[in-house]
């Protein structure tokens, strides 16, 4: 039985939050997969967010904070509860008075943050150019590429606690490790991220960014829907190499396929379901474990109503 949203809907309306009912999550994930969310809300400021989270907790309704949807696989049955997408104030990017610290709202696309740093001749974010995520999502999972990670440049993060308190913590308190932070699996909501950057030459920064983007487009299936790298890096090598060595490159189940371009990616070739992707993930894990003795760990977050 679905929850009673009467009181929640009234509060959302009073707060001025845009609210959609039965919104297909396939419209909001880079995989282009996912059934309907009971409620899909766009929140533009801190007051709206605090008010929504309060009523969600009072009504004991489940909720999901959505970033760019780039590391997410949503069930074909959809999501029971509310999905909250940050926008407005949470998308701002600004330069702080010291001239070397960039602050980005949690919803700001990493691409926008990287471009802002480049325009202000600040170096340090080049590695993140092309990572398909938001500032908040990248800090949440300590995103990284080409030898760089968020832990190398994040100075401070401001978050909202479960009790409604706004707190700012320094990098040393963020418990960063490989694809992990203090926020992973927790209930605190990231509001903004500050990056500690260094002055550089704008042309050199731009050239580095374009070089890395060229490498991405050459090696990764940039032109097809996916959720990025599916598996975390195992201790004894690279997931993509192990998968390819097992002869799984190009393997397909339904509309889901191990990318012929990069075996670490699963792509949606058209009409792929969550069930297709999960079946392909299971096949990969079983075959790599049997032939290579390595247990691959999924990096993509799977959420929604159980199949």
| Annotation says 123 is catalytic | no
Alpha-carbon radius of gyration of the chain: 20
What is the Cα–Cα distance from 34 to 272, expressed in whole angstroms?
A: 10
Which of 229, 251, 259, 273 is labelled catalytic? 229
Which of 32, 103, 179, 251 is labelled catalytic? 179
Sign of CA dihedral 117, 120, 124, 130: positive
- What is the DSSP secondary structure assignment for residue 297, as one 8-state letter? -
Show contacts of 238-243: CB within 8 Å, 24+ apart: 238/264, 239/263, 239/264, 239/288, 239/296, 240/264, 240/265, 242/288, 242/292, 242/294, 242/296, 243/284, 243/288
Residues in the chain: 307
| Annotation says 229 is catalytic | yes
| Annotation says 179 is catalytic | yes
Residue closest to 45 by CA, chosen among 212, 216, 166: 166
The catalytic residues are 179, 229, 299
């Amino acid at each position: 039985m679905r929850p009673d949203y009467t009181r929640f809907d009234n509060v959302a309306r009073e707060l001025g939050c845009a609210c959609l009912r039965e919104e297909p999550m396939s419209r909001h994930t880079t995989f282009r997969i996912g059934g309907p969310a009971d409620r899909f809300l766009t929140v533009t400021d801190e007051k709206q967010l605090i008010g929504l989270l309060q009523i969600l907790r009072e009504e004991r309704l489940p909720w999901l904070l959505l970033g760019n949807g780039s590391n997410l696989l949503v069930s074909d049955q959809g999501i029971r509860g509310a999905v909250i997408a940050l926008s407005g104030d949470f998308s701002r990017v600004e330069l702080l008075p010291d001239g070397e610290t960039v602050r980005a709202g949690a919803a700001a696309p990493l691409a926008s943050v990287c471009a802002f740093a480049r325009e202000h001749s600040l170096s340090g974010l080049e590695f993140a150019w092309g990572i398909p995520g938001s500032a908040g999502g990248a800090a949440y999972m300590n995103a990284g590429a080409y030898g760089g990670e968020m832990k190398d440049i994040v100075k401070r993060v401001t978050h909202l606690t479960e009790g409604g308190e706004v707190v700012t913590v320094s990098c040393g308190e963020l418990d960063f490790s490989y694809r992990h932070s203090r926020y992973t699996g927790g209930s605190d909501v990231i509001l903004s991220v500050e990056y500690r950057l260094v002055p550089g030459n704008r042309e050199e920064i731009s050239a580095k960014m374009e070089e890395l983007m060229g490498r991405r487009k050459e090696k990764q299936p940039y032109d097809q829907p996916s959720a990025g790298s599916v598996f975390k890096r195992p201790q004894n090598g690279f997931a993509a190499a192990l998968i390819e060595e097992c002869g799984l490159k190009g393997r397909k189940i339904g509309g889901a396929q191990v990318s012929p371009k990069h075996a670490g990616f699963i792509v949606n070739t058209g009409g792929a379901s969550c069930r297709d992707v999960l079946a392909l993930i299971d096949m990969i894990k079983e075959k790599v474990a049997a032939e290579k003795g390595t247990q691959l760990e999924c990096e993509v977050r799977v959420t929604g109503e159980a199949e």
